[in-house]
């Protein structure tokens, strides 16, 4: 069975500080991994995805994530937070031919 | 621009009423999905469809129904049998079933009065 755990339902950072959102997955085979962002009352937008081509994945808006098989992690980072980064972030996992499983989300607050 | 359109954005329903949420996509995707989002619970799969005239129950299908008469359209009906229908509903699509990434609509917020 697959599952996703996002540590920290709420994260606060100061504007300009490093953003680190944690995601750990369980999967019996190498998975496909995704990070989505959701602004209030809107749908989810893909930030980035890991499909086994490279362990460090760069996404939109300056975000990146690193796939670490030994740690079963896919943490999302951004070197310098911007006010516009305040949103809900979801990590998701999928194996070939199987459905997507989403984490419970992390709400990011950026403090001016 | 290609995308997914959900309507209505906000919907209020009295207990005992059925309501239908619309989802239309012009991405030429084969697969479409409905998810329910509740605070602190992430996204849960209600129904999905691989192709026209085919759909399958997801993890929380009870009290919901769908149809897929056209490739572009995948409406969701929330029936009176759904015990706790107040939620944010998200429609999504992908090029094929469980392939690539999901593309999402803007969502529909249903409130039962």
Residues of B in contact with A102 (CB under 8 A): 42-43
Count other Cβ atoms within 10 Å, centred on residue A107. Answer: 17
Residue B42 to residue A13: CA distance in whole angstroms: 22
Task: Give the closest of A44, A49, A96 to B90, CB-based.
Answer: A44
pLDDT in tens, B10-54: 999 998 899 999 999 999 999 999 999 998 888 999 999 999 999
The pLDDT value recorded for residue A31 is 84
The pLDDT value recorded for residue A1 is 66
Residues of A in contact with B40 (CB under 8 A): 9, 104-105
How close A36 comes to chain B (CA, Å)? 10
Mean pLDDT in chain A?
93
Count other Cβ atoms within 10 Å, centred on residue B73. Answer: 14
The pLDDT of residue A64 is above 90: yes
How close B113 comes to chain A (CA, Å)? 19
The pLDDT value recorded for residue A61 is 94
Question: CA angle, corner B42, sides to B36 and B46, nearest 5?
Answer: 30
Q: Could you tell me the CA-to-CA distances from A100 to A91, B1, B111 in Å, in that order?
A: 10, 25, 26
Residues of A in contact with B5 (CB under 8 A): none
* Contact in structure between A63 and A45 (CB atoms under 8 Å): no
How close A22 comes to chain B (CA, Å)? 15
Q: What percent of chain A has pLDDT over 90?
A: 79
The pLDDT of residue A24 is above 90: yes
Confidence category of residue A104, pLDDT binned at 50, 70, 90: very high
* Contact in structure between B66 and B58 (CB atoms under 8 Å): no
């Amino acid at each position: 069975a697959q599952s996703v755990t996002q540590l920290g339902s709420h994260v606060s950072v100061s504007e300009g500080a490093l953003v680190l959102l944690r995601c750990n997955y369980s999967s019996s085979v190498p998975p496909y991994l995704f990070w989505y962002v959701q602004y209030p009352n809107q749908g989810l937008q893909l930030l980035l995805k890991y499909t086994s081509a490279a362990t460090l994945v760069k996404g939109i808006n300056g975000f990146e994530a690193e796939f670490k098989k030994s740690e079963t992690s896919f943490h999302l980072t951004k070197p310098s937070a911007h006010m516009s980064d305040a949103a809900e972030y979801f990590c998701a996992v999928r194996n070939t031919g199987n459905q997507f499983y989403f984490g419970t989300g992390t709400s990011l607050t950026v403090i001016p | 621009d290609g995308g997914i359109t959900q309507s209505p954005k906000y919907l209020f329903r009295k207990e005992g009423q059925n309501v239908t949420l619309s989802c239309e996509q012009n991405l030429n995707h084969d697969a479409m999905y409905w998810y329910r989002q509740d605070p602190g619970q992430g996204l849960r799969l209600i129904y999905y469809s691989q192709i026209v005239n085919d759909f399958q129950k997801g993890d929380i299908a009870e009290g919901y129904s769908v149809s897929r008469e056209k490739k572009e359209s995948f409406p969701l009906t929330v029936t009176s049998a759904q015990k706790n229908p107040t939620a944010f509903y998200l429609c999504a699509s992908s090029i094929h079933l469980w392939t690539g990434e999901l593309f999402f609509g803007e969502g529909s917020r249903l409130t039962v009065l």
